[in-house]
Amino acid sequence: MPVAADAPKILPSPSVRVRASKVGRWRALVLLAVHALIALHVAHWMSTGTTLSPLEPSESMEFTREGLLNAGAIFFALTIGSTLLLGRWFCGWACHIVALQDGARWLLRRVGWNPKELDVGPLAAVPWLAAVYMFVAPAAVRLVIEGGLAPKEVHLTTTDFWKTFPDWPVALLTFVVCGGLAVLLLGSKGFCTSACPYAGLFGIADQLAPWRIRVNSACNGCGHCTAVCTSNVKVHAEVRDYGTVVDAGCMKCMDCVSSCPNGALRVGFGWPAWLTKAKSNAQSALRKWELGRELVALGFTLAAVAVFHYYDGVRSAYVNAPNWWVVMGIAVSAWALGLVFRSRAAKRRGTSTGEDALLAVLFVGSMYAVRGLYGWMPFLLSLGTSSIVAYLGLATWRALRSSDYALQHWTLKAHGRWTTTGAIYLVLMSLVYGGAGYGASEQLALARSARAQEALHHGLRAAQRGDMEQAIRDFAEARRLDTGLAEARDSLAGAYCAVGRYDEGLALFEESLQARPQDLDTRMLALRAAMEANMAERALGHLEVALRLAPNDAALLDLRQRLLEARGQ
């Protein structure tokens, strides 16, 4: 029984069988019905060509960023509103990703694999930070700039249902990683606790909900409720210390209520978790302030939010690059608000401050490496992948430093020696982090290219207003950042010629011609630069090549005659 050692006053006897939940089967049927409704929604669009816009929380981004009100935004607002009253019921009873995770857990248990709960340290803050990036920050910026959040347009129906979703292969990969692999490696609800952005908003709303699981005097601390909970909530400890479940991770699955042998648990109204105080004789209290851990959390928040917005800046280049002072202000506000509304549940800490810092660095690095890579790595898949990669990196570090170590049910190291499983694990980790390193190098190249494009356009604007010295500096910077940017090289050559530096301009034109020898326009520019620099031999050489490209061009023939006459021929 996965019952915490510090929890029950009366531990269940090994001969006592934990009563199975009667609610689990009904919840499974409801989740299957949700998937059936999704299939009907897609089928209606395929058969009619138009349908209600997707009832998906991510669709709310069109409202928070652009002011376009769709069915998904209304649906998400209703679910958050209901969570403020009833608690986090939507995750447990209507989320398709939770259904996939529960299905993965059920299959794993059928083959004898019971995923262990893991302390993911600062990764538990990822859902809230992702929610801030997707919904809170854009809405706040709109509120400040536009003075309100009134819809600009209403789009309740759509003819392009799949417009905002990834292609089928990427969608299936997302389901495999977020709905299966996260459970295998991070435990039940692994994606919910370490990556899901919707969980970030639902978790805070749950702390304000008055309808909660509560306990009466019939409770004897047997721990059966914790044993059946699939959301990793220490139910017995919380009802003992607070008289109610205060953990924001509680998804109101009702398994604990159904399985309680004494009927001591119920759902009812009362003080919300945020205002519930621990009993005077409670063995666990609100998690105390720890300076080192909170500083790591602040640094992690700043870095994570910056990386989330980095993708927007790189892809939009010089058009809509984010204001980084605003981004940092949003990050600090997110950290402070998350600190205020953090879950009141006091859980045994499974990571040190140093390990928290390592997890933070690995997550941010992985997110930088994979998000949007080659245009096919969507945000949710990037979040799930990065959380998994970060925790596996911590597990590798622990295994390297320990004589005995196991990840979930895999023994990686025993008596100071790597097992066969551990050796395979090391090979896989070298491939994973090698791939992450390659992704990071590609992102760096993309970032340099974006900055080069920005410098190029600054230079073009400077040239248009006649500031050629500034244009030369901008074009040179663009060329330094991306040596293969032909437009920057040609623009710099033209700027040199415009200020009378013909020899430098000619050198760049001739460099371009090495890559594009058949480019007549560039050949003519090189010809003119050579003539202005009084380099008759080089000018005649370029003219001869130009005549081979355009043998009947009268202007070129006339110019050739004049050049030959100037040489006495």
User: What are the residues facing 267 on neighbouring strands?
Assistant: 213
Euclidean distance between CA atoms 457 and 476, whole angstroms = 12
Q: Which residues of 61-88 are buried (b: 16+ CB within 10 A; e: fewer)?
A: bbbbeebbbbbbbbbbeebbebbbebbb
Question: How far from the centroid of its chain's Cα atoms is residue 255's Cα?
Answer: 31
pLDDT number for residue 317: 41
Where do the H-state alpha helices sit in 402-419? Answer: none
Euclidean distance between CA atoms 386 and 371, whole angstroms = 9
Are the beta carbons of 388 and 379 closer than 8 angstroms?
no
User: What are the residues facing 413 on neighbouring strands?
Assistant: 405, 418
Euclidean distance between CA atoms 440 and 453, whole angstroms = 20
Over the stretch 356-414, which tens digit does the pLDDT of each residue have? Answer: 999 999 999 999 999 988 878 899 999 999 999 999 999 999 999 999 999 999 999 99
Q: How buried is 145 (Cβ within 10 angstroms: 0-12 exposed, 13-18 middle, 19+ buried)?
A: exposed
Angle between helices 536-549 and 554-566 (to 10 degrees): 150
Angle between helices 486-498 and 520-532 (to 10 degrees): 30
Give the amino acid at 33.
Answer: A
Are the beta carbons of 87 and 212 closer than 8 angstroms?
yes
Are the beta carbons of 158 and 53 closer than 8 angstroms?
yes
User: What are the residues facing 244 on neighbouring strands?
Assistant: 214
Are the beta carbons of 213 and 252 closer than 8 angstroms?
yes
What CATH number labels 504-569?
1.25.40.10
Are the beta carbons of 372 and 315 closer than 8 angstroms?
yes
Are the beta carbons of 236 and 226 closer than 8 angstroms?
yes
Euclidean distance between CA atoms 437 and 158, whole angstroms = 40
CA angle centred on 290, ends 249 and 129, rounded to 5°:
45
Euclidean distance between CA atoms 159 and 45, whole angstroms = 7
pLDDT number for residue 518: 87
pLDDT number for residue 413: 94
Question: Tokens 């994570």, residue?
Answer: 304
pLDDT number for residue 288: 57
Euclidean distance between CA atoms 400 and 389, whole angstroms = 16
Q: Mapping DSSP to helix (H, G, I), strand (E, B) and coil, where does residue 138 land?
A: helix
Structure-block tokens of residue 70 = 């769709």
Kindly state the greatest CA–CA separation across the chain. 116
Structure-block tokens of residue 388 = 């998994």
Q: Which residues of 17-40 are buried (b: 16+ CB within 10 A; e: fewer)?
A: ebeebebbeebeeebeebeeeeee
Fill in the DSSP letter of residue 559. H
Closest CA to 382 of 104, 204, 191: 191
DSSP letters spanning 34-62: HHHHHHHHHHHHHHHS-EEPP--GGGGHH
Where do the H-state alpha helices sit in 268-378? Answer: 291-316, 324-340, 353-370
Specify the length of the chain in residues.
569
Instruction: Provide the whole-model pTM.
Output: 0.84
Euclidean distance between CA atoms 548 and 184, whole angstroms = 67
Are the beta carbons of 156 and 52 closer than 8 angstroms?
yes
Domain-wise residue ranges, the chain: 50-209+288-341+351-418, 504-569
Dihedral, CA atoms, 79, 81, 82, 87, nearest 10 degrees?
100
Euclidean distance between CA atoms 134 and 136, whole angstroms = 7
- Report the DSSP pairing between strands 68-70 and 153-155: parallel
Euclidean distance between CA atoms 488 and 77, whole angstroms = 48
Where do the H-state alpha helices sit in 465-501? Answer: 468-481, 486-498
Euclidean distance between CA atoms 444 and 460, whole angstroms = 24
Residues of the chain whose pLDDT is less than 50? 1-11, 284-286, 316-319
Question: How far from the centroid of its chain's Cα atoms is residue 294's Cα?
Answer: 22
Query: What residues contact residue 399 under an 8 Å CB cut-off, 6+ apart?
Result: 405, 407, 412, 413, 422, 425
